[in-house]
């Protein structure tokens, strides 16, 4: 891969597959996501969306096929790849005994950010959690935990953002907040891969869409076409 391609192709997989025990969670996955694009992963539960996202994040080792993130292999160059991406998924990666502010302080320190406490408080404000800054995370609702985890995308400054069911467990206001954040990522030129069941909302954010069934991609095309063909209304 040339260095020019390294910067223009965010995710490329060829024949990517992952098996757990006797079950193939993902197979024959050929996907290319260009830098700056936003792609929606759609499909029923168990169709392989989460597996694909976790493979991209380097949390799983592929059973089959090749995968590159901005030209790097996420299993061989783990740290390099992980520095360029953020995954906001089903797991919140929180410590129930820490407060919201302490949590972002820990994340900031560990990712090498120089944010001051005031800057961190401003970040909490952006996800509407400033009021809860000194409350232990263990007492948060699922939606609050999700909003807090979303802050990782601002601390890590990634080029690629992976979102797994970003709208679940959130009320309408919360979902609107996520949408606004995602629009800001896009304006900043970041690449997005979003797995979601909330197709109308997610499709508004993404140009392309990919449909998975039983671990394989069976359709790729424009997000608006997907909405039309599935006869969904916003």
Partner 1 sequence: MKILRQTWAVVRKDLLLEWRGRSRILSVLLFGVVTLLLFSFAVGPDSVMLRTAAGGFLVLALLLSSTLSLSESFRVEQELRAIEGLLLLPVDPVALYYGKCLSNTFFLMLLAPVLTPVTLILYSVELDFAGFLTLFGLWTLAAAGLSAPGTLYAAMTSRLQSQDVLLPLLLFPLVIPVLMGSVKSVTLLLTGDPMSQIQSWTLLLASFAIIYWSLCGLLFPHAIEEGS
Partner 2 sequence: MSQRMTKIHLFGLVGLLLLLVGSYLGLFVAPPDRYMGDVQRIMYVHLPSAWNGMLCYLFAFGFAIASIWQHKPKWDALTVGAIEVGAVLNALLLIQGSIWARPTWGVWWDWDVRLTTSLIMFLLFAGVLALRSFVEDPNQRATWTAIATIVAFIDVPLVYFCVRWWRSLHQVQSTPDTVSSAMVMPLRLNSIAIFLLVIWMVAQRARLEMIRHQKEQVDEPARMATVGGLENV
Question: Applying CB under 8 A, which residues contact partner 2?
Answer: 17, 19-24, 27-28, 61, 64, 211, 213-220, 226, 229-231
Smallest distance, Å, CB 69 to partner 2?
A: 21
Q: Is 39 in the site for partner 1 (CB under 8 A)?
A: no
**Site membership for partner 1, residue 96 (CB under 8 A):** yes
From partner 2, partner 1, none, interface partner of 217 (C-beta below 5 to 8 A by class): partner 2
Identify the residue among 6, 83, 168, 198 touching partner 1 (CB under 8 A): 83
- Which of 29, 42, 52, 94 touches partner 1 by CB under 8 A? 94
Rounded distance between C-alpha atoms, residue 17 and residue 29, angstroms: 6
- 3-state helix/strand/coil string of the chain: CCHHHHHHEEEEEEEEEEEECCEEEEEEEEEEEECCCEEEEEECCCCCHHHHHHHHCCCCCCCEEEEEECCECCCCCHHHHHHHEEEECCCCCCCCCCEHHHHHHHHHHHCCCCCCHHHHHHHHHHCCCHHHCCCEHHHCCHHHHHHHHHCHHHHHCCCEEEEECCCCCCCHHHHHHHHHHHHHHHHCCCEEEEECCCHHHHHHHCCEEEEEECCEEEEEEEHHHHHHHCCCCC
Residue 169 CB, shortest distance to partner 1, in Å, is: 14
Q: Which residues of 91-113 are buried (b: 16+ CB within 10 A; e: fewer)?
A: ebebeeeebbbbbbbebbeeeeb
Of the candidate spans 43-51, 74-82, 124-132, 191-199, the one that interacts with partner 1 by CB under 8 A turns out to be 74-82
Nearer Cβ to partner 2, position 19 or 130? Answer: 19
- Binding to partner 1, residues 145-164 (CB under 8 A): 152, 156
Q: How far is the CB of 33 from partner 1 (least distance, A)?
A: 19
Q: Which of 6, 14, 46, 98 binds partner 1 (CB under 8 A)?
A: 98
Q: Taking CB under 8 A as the rule, does residue 44 contact partner 1?
A: no
| 35 scored as a contact of partner 1 (CB under 8 A) | no
Give 75 or 141: the residue with its C-beta nearer to partner 1. Answer: 75
Residues of this chain that interact with partner 1 (CB under 8 A) are: 57, 59-61, 75, 78-79, 82-83, 86-87, 91-98, 102, 106-107, 109-112, 136, 152, 156
């Amino acid at each position: 891969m040339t260095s020019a391609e390294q910067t223009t192709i965010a995710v490329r997989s060829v024949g990517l597959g992952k098996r757990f025990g006797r079950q193939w969670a993902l197979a024959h996955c050929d996907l290319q996501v260009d830098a700056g694009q936003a792609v929606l992963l759609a499909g029923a539960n168990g169709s392989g969306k989460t597996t694909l996202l976790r493979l991209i994040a380097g949390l799983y080792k592929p059973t089959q096929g090749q995968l590159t993130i901005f030209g790097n292999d996420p299993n061989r160059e783990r740290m390099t790849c992980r520095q360029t991406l953020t995954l906001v998924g089903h797991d919140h990666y929180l410590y129930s005994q820490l407060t919201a502010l302490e949590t972002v302080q820990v994340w900031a320190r560990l990712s090498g950010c120089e944010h001051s406490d005031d800057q961190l408080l401003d970040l909490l404000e952006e996800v509407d959690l400033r009021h809860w800054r000194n409350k232990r995370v263990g007492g948060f609702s699922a939606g609050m935990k999700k909003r807090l985890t979303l802050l990782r995308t601002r601390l890590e400054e990634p080029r690629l953002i992976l979102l797994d069911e970003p709208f679940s467990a959130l009320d309408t206001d919360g979902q609107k907040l996520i949408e606004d954040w995602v629009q800001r990522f896009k304006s900043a030129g970041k690449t997005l891969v979003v797995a979601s069941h909330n197709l109308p909302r997610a499709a508004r954010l993404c140009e392309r869409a990919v449909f998975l069934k039983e671990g394989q991609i069976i359709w790729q095309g424009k997000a608006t076409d997907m909405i039309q063909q599935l006869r969904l209304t916003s």
